[in-house]
Chains A and B, each alone.
Chain A
Amino acid sequence: MRLTYLAVVGAPLAAALVAALVRPYRRWAGATGALLSTLSLAGALRLAGQVLAGATPTWGPSEMMRVDALSALLAVCVAFVAALAAWLGPGLGRDEHYTPAQARRFRIFSSLFAFTMLIAVTANNVAIMWVAVEATTIASALLIPLHVSKASVEASWKYILIGSVGIALAFVGTVLGYFDYVHLAGERQSALNWTSLMAAAPAMHPRVMALAFVFIVIGYGTKAGLAPMHTWLPDAHAEAPAALSAMMSGVLLAVALYAIIRWKVVVDLTVGSTLPDRLLLVLGLASLAVAALSLVGQRQYKRLLAYSSIEHTGLMCVGLGLGPLGAFAALLHLVNHAVAKGMMFLLSGRILDRYHTTEMGEVSGLLRAMPVTGGLFAAGMLALAGLPPFGIFFSKLSLVRAGFATGHPWLMALVLVLLLAAVVAMLAQINRMLYGAPPAGVRMGESNRWGLVPLALCAALLVALGLGGFGAFQTLLDRAVEIVSR
């Protein structure tokens, strides 16, 4: 068990080390990194299997790290998208638009990024979780301006400043939680363990924990891209290299939500679930509204995808505020979104490489110029729009059912209206990209065909998850929901 966990978190760390030591950059260093990321994914799947079998592995002094069903679910997602980014990112392909130095920098920091995210989702100690989430900001901020330009530098500044401020606020919440626990139970090394907090939760002071939760939601919510703290997100995700955007949109937002979920479970026991639910509903709705309105006038496809991430994170947040059924919808949505968004950003990277423009108006005839890419792109867009048979359709359905079940019919009506607006905006734009004739000077036919294999796999996965998924996945999801809605 220990070994598996070590493989999961150690592999990306080793990959970063390899990339750092190999100067100048060589392709085998990138390939090693990609192989290590696959090892990490395998380890995560094995951990998930162990958790399904009933074990809850722990690690470290005073049980700093702990893997339960929720952690395992997220670890698999993170490892999967990280592996995608490792295989398809700069430094391994043939048509390279990045210098070896840039490729090396990408390898080092994206592996560190994956490492910190894996630590964050498997930490039992909420302070370690916080340190890891802060570290994700640091690791990713340096990669956004991989191609130095005014836009990317501006994006990275906004990202690191707003992200760090948000994380600092999350730390205030953590300190307040620690403060309450310590004054209840006396100081102990394991005072910051989530398990200890859960045990002591019913006895803690409601007002302190409520205040702490507000800070937590605002703090981690900034990292998750919840409105009104979302202003950094469209810029950062649009300007970053495609593989990094895939990781940031796909799983970093999910990791931030995971942190909120962990705290919510504790606070629900102390304060009752009314306040946390209401807070999450408000923020989720605000994000949905902001995203839906902003999607209407978008002109660049990467920004479109970024705002779509805000929309989906908002949806997940709404789901978290709607009780157990909503939590199920949110978690299902989380997994589907991770796969779909990862795939979409990587596809957008291919489109950018071919068309050399990020403006949707200048991209046309995608299905003719790059048929497979275009086809997968269309499929992904349909998936994100929430059409069957893709998984997001079912998670949205569950969400609406949850809303009606908890007595928020008007809320759900509003959600549906906003979703409709978002979907229409996205599909209209994408249609223009897919059809018509490609502009002159654009090479026809796919390049780097092997790179399409993982992406096709993603599409297949999306369909599979939609059609009912794998039995094991369902069980894991159910166990995770159990943890969330205690």
Chain B
Amino acid sequence: MDSAFGQLTVLGSSLVLLCGLTLLWRRGSAAHINAFAAQSVALAATAGLIAVVTGGRELWVVAVIFLGLKGTLMPILLKRMDRRFGGPRELEPYVNTATSLVIGGLLVVLAYIVTWPILDVSRLPTRAGMPLAMGLIFVSLFVIISRKKALTQVIGFLALENGIALLAMLGTYGIPFIVEIGVFLDALMGFLVMQIVIYRIQETFESIDVEQLNRLSQ
């Protein structure tokens, strides 16, 4: 566990988690999109690192797809969406920033407690980063719950997927290739559908503030 490989993967995982926490800190969609792009790049780098050390060819493909799809393509699409229906620059989230950050820190500690029994199962050198991946999952869930802009909720969801991918990478050096491909396609399709729905929201409500989505409340 003191091995350089283990340390570096933990470093990569920390960077991924920090980008996730940035979603709680910065306001404004541009910052969020950049944080997501940086997170995907860090994730791709971690995948590449694991691929180099373990010699898994599939992980290389995964790393490249992450870089291309989530690191480049999706941020471009998100920025385009933001330009078209950005709306007001900063919407006050339901929970203010300082409290969100503290809650985010506590969620990471909670992820630690939850993942503790899992660490005993694995003998892989990368297992030290698994609680950080779980922490990112919890933090992304919190982002989705506490943010008001539909676009930010989508970015939170994409960060959640990143967290799950990181968990799979650190726990089992990835999942079987065919499943990975299926997951990617699902993720891409899901993202496109979300785009379409947000477009519809903009059309009908003239804003993407999800507080407006409250007509059905009984």
A touches B in complex, CB < 8 A: yes
CB neighbours of B121 from chain A (8 A) = 179-180, 183, 205, 208
Report the bound CA distance from A207 to B154 in whole Å.
32
Contact of A154 among B185, B203, B213 (CB under 8 A): B213
CB distance from A296 to the nearest CB of B (A): 11
Query: Interface 1/0s, chain A 275-314, versus B by CB < 8 A?
Result: 0000000000000000000100111100100000000000
B-side interface mostly: helix
Report the bound CA distance from A398 to B172 in whole Å.
43
CB neighbours of B193 from chain A (8 A) = 138, 141-142, 160
CB neighbours of B213 from chain A (8 A) = 153-154, 157-158
Give the total of B residues in contact with A, Cβ under 8 Å. 45
Query: Interface 1/0s, chain B 121-151, versus A by CB < 8 A?
Result: 1110000000000000100010010000010
Contact of A156 among B153, B175, B200 (CB under 8 A): B200
CB distance from B170 to the nearest CB of A (A): 10
Q: Confirm or deny: A176 has a beta carbon within 8 angstroms of a beta carbon on chain B.
A: yes
Q: Confirm or deny: B218 has a beta carbon within 8 angstroms of a beta carbon on chain A.
A: yes
Give the total of A residues in contact with B, Cβ under 8 Å. 53
Contact of B203 among A134, A148, A155, A165 (CB under 8 A): A148
Q: Confirm or deny: A457 has a beta carbon within 8 angstroms of a beta carbon on chain B.
A: no
Q: Is there contact, CB below 8 Å, between A175 and B164?
A: yes
CB neighbours of B81 from chain A (8 A) = none
State whether A175 and B218 are in contact (beta carbons under 8 Å apart), knowing that A142-B196, A180-B121, A211-B118 are contacts in the complex.
Answer: no
Report the bound CA distance from A191 to B190 in whole Å.
26
State whether A138 and B186 are in contact (beta carbons under 8 Å apart), knowing that A148-B204, A299-B218, A303-B218 are contacts in the complex.
Answer: yes
Which of B122, B157, B182, B203 counts the most chain A CB atoms within 10 A? B182
Q: Confirm or deny: A127 has a beta carbon within 8 angstroms of a beta carbon on chain B.
A: yes
CB distance from B196 to the nearest CB of A (A): 7
Within 8 A of B (CB), among A147-179: 148-151, 153-158, 160-161, 164-165, 168, 171-172, 175-176, 178-179
Q: Is there contact, CB below 8 Å, between B205 and A150?
A: yes
Q: Is there contact, CB below 8 Å, between A187 and B118?
A: no
Q: Is there contact, CB below 8 Å, between A154 and B216?
A: yes
CB nearest to A176 among chain B residues: B118
Query: Interface 1/0s, chain B 152-178, versus A by CB < 8 A?
Result: 011001001100100110011001100
Contact of B190 among A164, A234, A300 (CB under 8 A): A164
CB nearest to B167 among chain A residues: A175
Nearest 7 pairs of A and B residues by beta carbon: A207-B117, A154-B213, A131-B182, A127-B179, A179-B171, A235-B216, A134-B186
Q: A128-B179, A161-B194 are in contact. List 18 more A-B contacts (CB 8 A).
A: A138-B193, A148-B204, A149-B204, A151-B216, A153-B204, A165-B141, A168-B160, A172-B164, A175-B171, A179-B121, A179-B168, A180-B121, A187-B172, A205-B117, A211-B114, A211-B117, A235-B216, A298-B218
